[in-house]
Amino acid sequence: LSAASNSVSLREAYDSIFDRLPLCQRIIRHKKYLPLFLDEQISEYVLQRIIGREKDRQGLVMAEALGISFDVGVSVFVFLVHGLYAINKEYKWTQSDEWLEAQKVIFELVYRGLQSK
């Protein structure tokens, strides 16, 4: 993503890694789930289900990458899920060029943090 120089190359780069993204990022392309995220009460339930489903794997990934305990790794994962949800909500669940630029910046922020360890 960081090598992309315009919105077209950025979208191509994002599409190339889409299948490797966490569930909380992939779900935006499934419009049938959109009503679940538009309802504040239901969306929190859905977020908790996503976290419950992914936390063991993602917590371990974070723990190994950052040299932290599994529990702290889960906390980092929960932070990322809620933060990425907030960004999707901010952009009204559309994958606009501005949304994609925000994703790029967030990706670079997380990537640099992982590289510094």
Domain residue ranges in the chain:
7-115
Q: What's the CA gap between 104 and 3, in Å, rounded?
A: 10
Amino acid at 4: A
DSSP 36-74: HHHSHHHHHHHHHHHHHHHHHHHHHHHHHHHT--HHHHH
DSSP three-state, residue 112:
helix
Element (H, E) at 14: helix 7-17
pLDDT digits (tens, 9 = 90+) for 55-113: 999 999 999 988 999 999 999 999 999 998 899 889 988 888 998 899 889 888 888 87
Q: What's the CA gap between 113 and 83, in Å, rounded?
A: 16
Q: How many residues does the chain have?
A: 117
pLDDT digits (tens, 9 = 90+) for 28-62: 788 888 888 888 889 999 899 989 999 999 999 99
Compute CA distances 21 → 39, 40, 42, 60, whole Å.
24, 24, 23, 16
pTM above 0.75, yes or no: yes
